[in-house]
């Protein structure tokens, strides 16, 4: 047989146990790699969500500032109009 030397005895149980150990080590390594990838994905997802939230806050603040500026401008125009219409009876 290939792989077995003349002075070795073929033991299915031993070979099967070694194969299982190698397989288990490979499975554990695979699970560890998957856990790392999951953590990386989670971190990246959280970072993206945070960036989106910050962008939304900035857009909202800018929009509110523009609305406030327009409201102030309208108020000044109304004050000007009302002062020009001030009629004494």
Query: Tens digits of per-residue pLDDT, 1-30?
Result: 456 666 666 788 888 999 999 999 999 999
For residue 44, is pLDDT > 80?
A: yes
What DSSP line would sit under the chain, residue for residue? Answer: -TT--TTPPP-HHHHHHHHHHHHHHHHHHHHHHHHHHHHHHHHHHHHHHHHHHHHHHHHHHHHHHHHHHHHHHHHHHHHHHHHHT----
Among 27, 9, 31, which residue's Cα sits nearest to residue 19? 27
C-alpha to C-alpha distance for 66 and 74, rounded to whole angstroms: 12
Q: What is the mean pLDDT of the chain?
A: 88
Q: State the pLDDT confidence band at 80, using cuts at 50, 70 and 90.
A: confident
So what's the pLDDT on residue 84? 79
């Amino acid at each position: 047989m290939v792989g077995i030397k003349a002075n070795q005895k073929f033991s299915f149980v031993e070979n099967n146990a070694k194969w299982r150990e190698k397989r288990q080590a490979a499975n554990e390594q695979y699970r560890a790699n998957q856990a790392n990838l999951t953590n990386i994905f989670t971190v990246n997802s959280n970072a993206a969500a945070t960036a989106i939230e910050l962008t939304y806050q900035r857009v909202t603040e800018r929009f509110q500032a523009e609305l406030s500026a327009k409201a102030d401008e309208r108020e000044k125009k109304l004050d000007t109009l009302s002062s020009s219409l001030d009629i004494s009876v």
